[in-house]
Structure 1
């Protein structure tokens, strides 16, 4: 909007198995007031040869220096994460609020139970076939790459690491986040209920809202434009 010298950076954290490319098309919906900045974790896409993280704290500590470099002069930051990405974004928010000059405006936590609630069900330790079936239940959709033997062999180690990271997650701080939180879910999500999303209210001391959009657990796959508009309204008004 008018009067904003630098666009607000919207930092996107990936769901399990996803890379930064999932969010790249959303730049087309950002306009001049928002800057789409997806985080690329190791073990996928251009970082496919790097060892993936298996611990949320290690992942956040690892991405923070590169993120601060990418932010440059952009000091107004919004964090957005879906499923695994929501707890990564929550932990990253705790780090960023302690960085001088950085203003964390809001956390958007999508498709996730609040941080202190363990992720329901477990896939860690299952055989490959059992693991893939369980992940499909978790995700609420089937990734076609998992049906191709060569692609499955390529992506399964990172997907396993991501799921282990999510299932073993314990918040690093008992303190609520001093940043407003918007919890998001698909209205037909069978994995995260409205009550579970509403519980994110306990994770913040600075204001909360729950927003439901049409669709299931992966509603965001078709909602980039709507989500960027929602972020813009929450941050800049209008």
Structure 2
């Protein structure tokens, strides 16, 4: 894809923001441009109300994403909650009449019809943080700081609820290739669940595993970006 240049539009996972992907810019191989997308309620958009529905979020984000990649091919990337948001965004962009994504990269997620039964929504703060740690396979250090935890928990709760309450808006397979990615030691999403994305495209599907657990992308961005650039 990168022979003529490719923009990789990156959607945050639960509790994260565009800042996570900004560091990826220095790891990206030649021809791949990382385009982080900021969601309301985090980082520089902290004062904005966070989204509460993934389908509505994708609908609102579509025009802004299209404006960020006006020229040349682009693909969408999302991990966990971000994978579902990227999928809904792809559906919106395909229907918008503008240039459709050249591909969709969904990481650390079951297909849109295969949501997990275990939930964190509704638990008290301590139990919620522990359940999210179990889901993600790591614990964010900021949640151990009482003041930071008070600031971060409302956003994390909103994102987790949005993820756990997700229902697909569209059910028609996309007319673009999909690549499903997963850490080989991921205990949250199985290989079988990750390959559920096969039914979401009428085009080419591939599945790839990288070293690491559910949050492999935090440890191996260079390897991940090289894989994406080579697809």
Q: TM-score range by the shorter chain?
A: over 0.9
Cα shift at 1:100 = 3.1
Spell out the pairing of 1:81-100 with structure 2 (5 A cutoff): 81-100=78-97
Cα shift at 1:31 = 3.8
Match of 2:104, SS state, is strand
Task: Name stretches of at least 5 consecutive residues in structure 2 with no aligned partner.
Answer: none
Q: Deviations over 1:136-187 (max 9, x none)?
A: 1111101000010110011111100100110011111111111111110000
Q: Tell me which residue corresponds to 1:17.
A: 15
Count of matched residue positions in the alignment of Structure 1 and Structure 2? 231
Aligned residues: CA RMSD: 1.5
Q: Does 1:193 align with 2:190?
A: yes
Q: Tell me which residue corresponds to 1:151.
A: 148
Match of 1:212, SS state, is strand
Q: Is the 8 A contact 1:75 1:103 kept in 2?
A: no
Match of 1:173, SS state, is coil
Cα shift at 1:70 = 1.8
Spell out the pairing of 1:31-110 with structure 2 (5 A cutoff): 31-72=29-70, 74-110=71-107
Q: TM-score, normalised by structure 1?
A: 0.93
Task: Name stretches of at least 5 consecutive residues in structure 1 with no aligned partner.
Answer: none
Q: Deviations over 1:2-58 (max 9, x none)?
A: 862xx3210101110001011111111224412111110011100111111110012
Q: Tell me which residue corresponds to 2:137.
A: 140
Match of 1:109, SS state, is strand
Counterpart Cα distance in 1 of 2:134 and 2:2: 45
Q: TM-score, normalised by structure 2?
A: 0.95
Structure 1 consecutive aligned stretches of length 4 or more whose deviation exceeds 4 Å: none
Counterpart Cα distance in 2 of 1:104 and 1:67: 11
